[in-house]
Amino acid sequence: MAWITKNSAGMKVERRSEPYLTPAMRDELTRTVLPRYEQKQGALLPALHMIQHEYAWIPSQAMQEIAEFLGLKAADVLDAASFYEEYWLTPRGEHIISVCRSIACEFCDHKAVTEACKAKLGIEVGETTDDGTFTLIEIECLGSCGTAPAALVNEKLVENATAETISRAIDEARATPHHHNGRH
Amino acid sequence: MPFTPKMTRPILTQRIPTPPYGNPKDRRVISYAAYTASGGYAGLRKAIAMSPDDVVNEVKNSQLRGRGGAGFPCGLKWTFLPKPDANGEGGPRYLAINADESEPGTFKDRLLMDFDPHLVLEGIAICCYACRIQTAYFYIRGEYHHQARVMENAIREAYEHGIFGGTGLFSGASTKNRDTPWKVECFLHRGAGAYICGEETGLLESLEGKRGWPRNKPPFPAIKGLFGKPTIINNVETLAHVPSIIENGAAWFGTMGCESSIKGAPPSYGTKLMGVSGHVERPGVFECDLGIPLRTLVEQYCGGMRKGKKYKGAIPGGVSMGILGPDQFDAELDFDIGRKYNVLGLGTAGPTIFDEDTDMVAVARNIARFFKHESCGQCTPCREGSGWLYQLLSRIEEGNAKSRDLDLALEIATSMGTMSGTTICGLADGNNWAVRTIMNKFRDEFEARVKPTFIPVGITLGGAGLGGTGLQTGVMV
């Protein structure tokens, strides 16, 4: 999570003319999110969630737009965004499979689940399929220790996961494309 | 001595069918209508007929201890807020609800968020009334997508029925000491995958839109918390206990749980959600009296060890607490456990049980990897120590370590964790306790995995005949 070194100094910001933070998002933030916090920066995590939900990752240009919108320095936004594991600052697959590797899951055979994903998708942990459809990662505790092993397929939790159930969940995800804006 | 339960009915799980009182298959999300139809929000109605101070005193007298891990008395925490002025005003102050349940082995708050969100919201509303708080933030971990939706929906229902927003219940029954209606806002705030945000000041930083680096204390959050204002931080389960305490009284709460067996130590009253995972037949969350022996929990609630295997060890509640050894299966799960069984504490009471086939070196390595991954990087002993510890334990597991690495691992664990003042928060302590207790209680398994260390000793062998051959002498230990 937090302790990763990043190439922030030499960062190149890819630009597009259309803003990532759309007028609808700005409106939503202004109406419902900003009034909740005493300081504007409180809306930073919700804003980042919003961008990631829409585009599946958080482009640098979007971070700059958020900074401008909330009256922050771009560095403040990068500082927070890079700290949290859930935010993707590089593009990832359309669907993300996160297999839990923490204590209960490891000792209730999470390996079988990871191996099934690897075999089905033809990728290693940390990789994305060539067609950009699936990214496979292993993460720490999903809070599903009583029904270990567990995995998240996008936002859906697969409990008591087996090679069969995770394989079915992958098929279901494939059948319901996300169509993130700006990708695919 | 066999354990006799003191609780006669489920309290936190009264609407969530849970063995032995109900069948988990019958669980449904409890809507506002279903909640009120089954006596919900009676605690809140009773509370707003009392003075805020009386509510605080009731909770204080119940000796309810925080369910988030540290076991700090909840009512006492509430009294740390600055006193409101003559008008009952204390300026802006906040409640942050800690639903960042992310320590491996801990999944008990999820049950409440999954099925009975209004029980938590009622606790929040009572706390806000008692402590004169206008705004509550429900900080939920990013991975709890479903739970966030359930809570969001319940908060919306609560607004519609005037629990929050100051249009219904609170405005009608304007509080005893004031004429203006009381208005409480409650917002859901999603985290984004950082264990450290479960540390209370890390949580506040994250709410402020910053990286979740814990703050130096003092000042404590009750004085200077969110946005620099007085803030109370309570765990989900702690707040879920409050409605029934107000409804039934502090004395009633003390009829459940247990007294402390240590002279002068505070009691462990009430029931507790115990999230059992690992090698048992029926893992899951159960509600029991505090003080239930681990063996009773496993054998009577969880159907015994999986496949009839033998018990080997257990983590009492979240991996940071350390491990109970093979001879500690009868440990009572209460707030004294730390002082009696050489673990850090009860934690969140989420026992992870290991059977006889478990490789304890792998357990230690798994836990060390977790802490390395989740160290926030702010304090050097933790940031560096957690990485080295993980490397050493991986090396031991792979069979590439030498015997001296065992002492080195223990030394790293001890020097990063037990020396107070070297780190800002308790993450390094948790890492230390976990690794150190596993290594000490299962020392033989670690020793069996390492190669002997060659220690050169300066003895000349065979005199001149062997001199100059480069033969080194020493002992293997």
CA distance B397 to B432: 18
Report whether B84 contacts B254 (CB < 8 A).
no
Q: What is the DSSP string of chain A?
A: --------TT------SS-SS-HHHHHHIIIIIGGG-SSGGGGHHHHHHHHHHHHSS--HHHHHHHHHHHT--HHHHHHHHHH-TT--SS---SEEEEEE-SHHHHTTTHHHHHHHHHHHHT--TT-B-TTS-EEEEEES--S-GGG-S-EEETTEEE-S--HHHHHHHHHHHHHS----TT--
Task: Dump the DSSP string for B176-191.
Answer: TT-SSPP--EEEEEE-
Among B169, B154, B181, B137, smallest CA distance to B47 is for B169
Instruction: Name residues 53-82 of chain B within 8 A of A (Cβ).
Output: none
Of B213, B240, B255, the last residue of a domain is B255
Is residue B404's pLDDT more than 90? yes
B210 in the same domain as B77: yes
* Amino acid letter, B276: V
CATH of the domain at B78: 3.40.50.11540
Contact B183, B165 (CB under 8 A): yes
Q: Is A35 on the interface with B (CB under 8 A)?
A: no
- The domain boundary, picked from B255, B275, B292, lies at B255
First to last CA, chain A: 28
Q: What is the pLDDT of residue B477?
A: 77
In a domain, B458, yes or no: no
Q: Do A84 and B278 touch (CB under 8 A)?
A: no
Angle CA(B137)–CA(B143)–CA(B145) in degrees, nearest 5? 75
Mean pLDDT of B210-215: 97
Report pLDDT for A113. Answer: 97
Instruction: Give dist(CA A20, CA A153) in Å, integer.
Output: 25
**pLDDT band at residue B1, thresholds of 50, 70 and 90?**
low
Closest among A103, A56, A159 to B374, alpha carbons compared? A103
Q: Is B8 helix (H, G, I), strand (E, B) or coil?
A: coil
pLDDT value of residue B453: 86
Q: Does A153 touch chain B (CB under 8 A)?
A: no
* B417, pLDDT greater than 80: no
Structure tokens given for B247: 């409804």
Take residue B106 and report the two structure tokens written for it. 């801990």
Contacts of B227 in chain A (CB under 8 A): 37-39, 42
Structural domains of chain A, ranges and CATH numbers in brackets: 23-83 (1.10.10.1590), 95-174 (3.40.30.10)
- B276 and A1 within 8 Å at the Cβ level: the answer is no
Whether residue B418 is contained in a domain is answered as yes
Asked if residue B254 lies in contact with residue B267, where contact means CB atoms within 8 angstroms, the answer is: yes
Nearest residue of A to residue B104, measured between CA atoms: A141
The neighbour count for residue B183, using CB atoms within 10 Å, is 14
- Does residue B195 sit in the same domain as residue B76? yes
Which of the four pLDDT bands, split at 50, 70 and 90, describes residue B454? Answer: confident
Cβ-defined contact of A140 to B104 (cutoff 8 Å) = yes
* pLDDT score of A7: 62
Residue B323 lies in a domain: no
Place of tokens 């050489």: B342
B13 in contact with A, Cβ within 8 Å: no
Residue B166 in 3-state DSSP? coil
Q: Residues B420, B381: contact at Cβ < 8 Å?
A: no
- B377 CB within 8 Å of a chain A CB: yes
Residue type, A48: L
Query: What is the residue-level pLDDT of chain A in tens, covering all 184 positions?
Result: 555 555 666 667 889 999 999 999 999 999 999 999 999 999 999 999 999 999 999 999 999 999 999 999 999 999 999 999 999 999 999 999 999 999 999 999 999 999 999 999 999 999 999 999 999 999 999 999 999 999 999 999 999 999 999 999 999 999 987 756 544 3
Comparing A10-24, B164-178, B339-353, the range with the smallest average pLDDT is: B164-178
Residue B468 above 60 pLDDT? no
User: Residue B286: inside a domain, yes or no?
Assistant: no
> Which of B255, B278, B309 is at the close of a domain?
B255
Tokens of B389: 């510890």
A68-91: b (≥16 Cβ within 10 Å) or e: ebbebebebbbebbbbbbbbbbeb
Q: How many residues does chain A have?
A: 184
What's the CA gap between A129 and A136, in Å, rounded?
A: 9
Residues 6+ away with beta carbon under 8 Å from B324 = B294, B313, B314, B315, B316, B331, B341, B343
Taken in order B153, B156, B157, B163, the sign of the CA dihedral is: positive
CB atoms within 10 A of CB B224: 16
Of the residues A70, A88, A141, the best mutation for testing chain B's interface (the one with the most B CB atoms within 10 Å of its CB) is A141
Contact B274, B106 (CB under 8 A): no
Work out the minimum CA distance from A1 to partner chain B, whole angstroms: 6
Asked if the model's pLDDT at residue B410 lies above 70, the reply is: yes
Residue B192 near chain A (CB below 8 Å): yes
Distance from CA of B192 to the nearest CA of A (A): 5
B92 lies in a domain?
yes
Q: State CA B412 to chain mean position distance.
A: 25
* Confidence at residue B173, expressed as pLDDT on a 0 to 100 scale: 47
Tell me if B92 sits within 8 A of A38, measured CB to CB: yes
* Degrees, nearest 5: CA angle B396-B397-B403: 25
Percent of chain B with pLDDT over 90: 82
Token pair in block for residue B171: 């405005």
Q: Round to whole Å and give the CA distance between B52 and B126.
A: 9
Same domain, B246 and B370: no
DSSP state of B466: T
Whether the ω angle into residue B221 lies within 30 degrees of 0, i.e. cis, is no
Same domain, B186 and B65: yes
pLDDT in tens, A98-127: 999 999 999 999 999 999 999 999 999 999
For position B167, what pLDDT does the model report? 65
CATH number of the structural domain spanning residue B377: 1.20.1440.230
Number of domains in chain B: 2
Residue B63 located in a structural domain: yes
Smallest CA–CA distance, residue B103 to chain A, in Å, is 7
Specify whether B249 is located in the same domain as B386. Answer: no
Q: How far does CA A11 lie from the centroid of its chain?
A: 21
Confidence of residue B174 (pLDDT cuts 50, 70, 90): very low
Structural domain for B391, as ranges: 360-447
Do residues B139 and B196 touch, judged by C-beta distance below 8 A? no
Q: Which residues pair with B274 in a beta bridge?
A: B286
Q: Is A125 on the interface with B (CB under 8 A)?
A: no
Q: What is the pLDDT of residues B269-316, one digit of tens each?
A: 999 999 999 999 999 999 999 999 999 999 999 999 999 999 999 999
Distance of alpha carbon B98 from alpha carbon B232, whole angstroms: 10
Evaluate whether residue B324 is within a structural domain. no
Of the listed ranges A145-159, B124-138, B407-421, the least confidently predicted one is B407-421
Q: Quote the pLDDT of residue B384.
A: 93
Q: How far away is chain A from the Cα of B463, in angstroms, using its nearest Cα? A: 56
Beta strands per DSSP E along B197-280: 231-235, 257-258, 268-269, 271-278
**Dihedrals phi, psi of B377, to nearest 5 degrees:** 90, 5
Tens-place pLDDT, residues B29-72: 999 999 999 999 999 999 989 999 999 999 999 999 999 988 99
Taking one residue from A and the other from B, the number of pairs with CB-CB distance under 8 angstroms is: 169
Q: Are residues B165 and B39 in the same domain?
A: yes
d(CA B168, CA B39): 18
State whether B250 and B364 are in the same domain: no
Q: Hey, is the C-beta of A45 within 8 angstroms of any chain B C-beta?
A: yes
User: For residues A178 and B63, what is the distance between their CA atoms, to the nearest angstrom?
Assistant: 50
Main-chain dihedrals φ then ψ at residue B389, nearest 5 degrees: -60, -40
Lowest mean pLDDT among A22-31, B370-379, B452-461: B452-461
pLDDT digits (tens, 9 = 90+) for A45-54: 999 999 999 9
Nearest residue of B to residue A76, measured between CA atoms = B210
**Tens digit of each residue's pLDDT (9 = 90 or more) over B73-89:** 999 999 999 987 666 56
Q: What is the DSSP string of B383-406?
A: HHHHHHHHHHHHHHHHT--BHHHH
Interatomic CA distance for residues B275 and B110, integer angstroms: 10
Cβ A163 vs Cβ A114: under 8 Å: no
* Confidence at residue A9, expressed as pLDDT on a 0 to 100 scale: 63
> Is the CB of B370 less than 8 angstroms away from the CB of A46?
no
Instruction: Tell whether B376 is within 8 A of chain A (Cβ).
Output: yes
- Nearest-neighbour CA in chain B from A97: distance (Å): 12
> Is B104 a domain residue?
yes
